[in-house]
Amino acid sequence: MASTSKGNTSPAVLLLADGTVFYGRSCGAAGTATGEVCFNTSLEGYFEVMTDPSYAGQIVTMTYPQIGNYGIDLADVQSAFPGDGSRPANAPAMRAMVVRDMCPTPSNWRSATSVPAYLQKLGIVAIEGVDTRALVQHLRDNGAQMGIVSTEEFDLDELASRLAAAPQLVGENLVKTVSCPEPHPFTTADLPAAHDFALASPAGEGVANPAVHRVVAYDCGVKRGILEGLVRAGCEFVVVPWNTPAAEVLAMNPDGVFLSNGPGDPDAVPETYTQVQQLIGRVPVFGICLGHQMISLAAGAQIEKLKFGHRGGNQPVMNLLTRRVEITAQNHGFGLVFPSLGALVPELSGGVAEHPTDGDLRFWVERGIAPVVENERFGRIRLTHVNLNDGTAEGIQLLNAPCFSVQYHPEASPGPTDAHYLFTAFARLMAGEPDYLSIDIAADRLAGWNFATEEN
């Protein structure tokens, strides 16, 4: 190894809770880390994955075989964490990383450092040389589970003992570990100049009276890319901590409230969804990922732990309103149980009076229907999006209040741009347009990108 670009490396081990063991080599910091072992199927964007706060409490496995070949540009960081005594500003929240092959010598004009150097600097344990195909197949068959990665301890009994004593993901409030401590603004001035080569100017910039919407964003572990996408759609934010009282938010007189993505078990974050319950109906609300789950819980719905979750930039979702398929970027391990929102309204659900008994929402995809339920708290709620891989709920729209949400990430950081229209939809909702979700997705998906502009 000393004669290769990797140099001398120390051994490392990954032990799963069910006793499965993978051996490899260290490609990050030395140490030991525990967390839920999950996998991401994105082919690119590993740095955005690494710095997504939604991975707090997790050990991230990348399914693409080589990671680090184009290095890291810090302008692409997704964490907006301000830093504290335990973790520096913008640092990743994930516990550890698992890859097949780590490239220590990147080649890219934007690269400022390598992935191994970045991980070592921030003290994040990583292991390479693992058969990630076998690991992912094991997780798909047996479900996501707790694991421990170590470069310093190789006694399996000792590792198993440490793992058994580690906190579990379910029931733990991880949101409070990644949220901002104080309110702060986020405007066009916060957009990274390094992205100007690819992205057009924000909506309204340079116009005498730009249509800027004032938004309060609950930071539950928000990705910068999501805030940047909304700013480019004409929003300016005050970002507030995860547990900010609804009364304080309403006192700011916002045009809308945004509920961000975030990590872990949504049932463990009642301080947020109880506030959302007080906001719905009083101000337009848009939720993404954990924000979608917060709206669902505010409506009294049930949330389930998925077997291995949805993580990657290639999740197919059917938009039941437009009948278009969106290829989406996702990162979550929990999902809404749609029937728990209420009984079906047959006259708005194609005459169907009972929910499908197997819970597979592709039932509605096959029939071309966006079903509506009667909810005890907020009236009628429509199912708008369904995951085509497993038939789980991916989006809802409240019909008696200005509120909608999706389970996925529309900002392409990393991932496709099919869901870009959701930023536009939120702006239209705040502008009072009743049919705010009726958008030509095909036309909107490239909006805001410089390469989509025709040259004269």
- Domains in the chain, CATH or no CATH each: 11-165 (3.50.30.20), 175-452 (3.40.50.880)
Cite the annotated binding site by residue number: 54, 262, 264, 290, 293, 331, 333-334
Q: Which two tokens stand for residue 336?
A: 């809404």
Cβ–Cβ under 8 Å, residues 359 and 337 = yes
Q: How far apart are CA 377 and CA 277, in angstroms?
A: 9
346: confidence class by pLDDT, cuts 50, 70, 90: very high
Q: How far apart are CA 27 and CA 124, in angstroms?
A: 10
pLDDT in tens, 40-74: 999 999 999 999 999 999 999 999 999 999 999 99
Question: 176 by DSSP, 3-state: which?
Answer: helix
Phi-psi bin for 379: left (phi > 0), alpha (psi -120 to 50), beta? left
pLDDT for res 207: 47
Q: Which residue has the higher pLDDT, 374 or 205?
A: 374
Q: Which of 307, 455, 452, 454 is nearest to 391 (CA)?
A: 307
pLDDT for res 194: 76
Judged against a pLDDT cut of 80, whether residue 257 lies above it is answered with yes
Cite the annotated binding site for L-glutamine by residue number: 54, 262, 264, 290, 293, 331, 333-334
Q: How far apart are CA 306 and CA 289, in angstroms?
A: 14
Q: Which helix (H) or strand (E) holds 296?
A: helix 290-298
CB burial of residue 432 (10 Å; 0-12, 13-18, 19+): exposed
Q: Which of 7-21, 117-131, 206-220, 287-301 has the lowest mean pLDDT?
A: 206-220
Cβ–Cβ under 8 Å, residues 150 and 119 = no
- Mean pLDDT to the nearest integer, 151-172: 96
Please spell the DSSP secondary structure of 9-27, one letter per residue. Answer: --EEEEEETTS-EEEEEE-
Partners of 328 in beta bridges: 315
Q: How far apart are CA 34 and CA 14, in angstroms?
A: 10
Judged against a pLDDT cut of 80, whether residue 2 lies above it is answered with no
Q: Which two tokens stand for residue 360?
A: 């597979």
- Mean pLDDT to the nearest integer, 190-197: 77
pLDDT for res 189: 86
- Mean pLDDT to the nearest integer, 71-93: 86
pLDDT for res 209: 44
Q: Which two tokens stand for residue 311?
A: 């993580």
The half-sphere exposure of 254 on its side-chain side, counting CA atoms within 13 A, is 27
Active site residues: 289, 409, 411
pLDDT in tens, 350-395: 999 999 999 999 999 999 999 999 999 999 999 999 999 999 999 9
Q: Give the amino acid at 64.
A: Y
Question: 192 by DSSP, 3-state: which?
Answer: coil
pLDDT for res 210: 56
Q: What is the mean pLDDT of the chain?
A: 92
Judged against a pLDDT cut of 50, whether residue 456 lies above it is answered with no
Examine residue 346 and say whether the peptide bond preceding it is cis (omega within 30 degrees of 0).
Answer: no
What angle is formed at CA 388 by the lines to CA 387 and CA 392, rounded to 5 degrees? 35
pLDDT for res 213: 94
pLDDT in tens, 279-328: 999 999 999 999 999 999 999 999 999 999 999 999 999 999 999 999 99
Q: Which two tokens stand for residue 151?
A: 């470069």
pLDDT for res 414: 87
Q: How far apart are CA 285 and CA 403, in angstroms?
A: 5
Range list of H helices, 3-93: 46-50
Judged against a pLDDT cut of 50, whether residue 161 lies above it is answered with yes
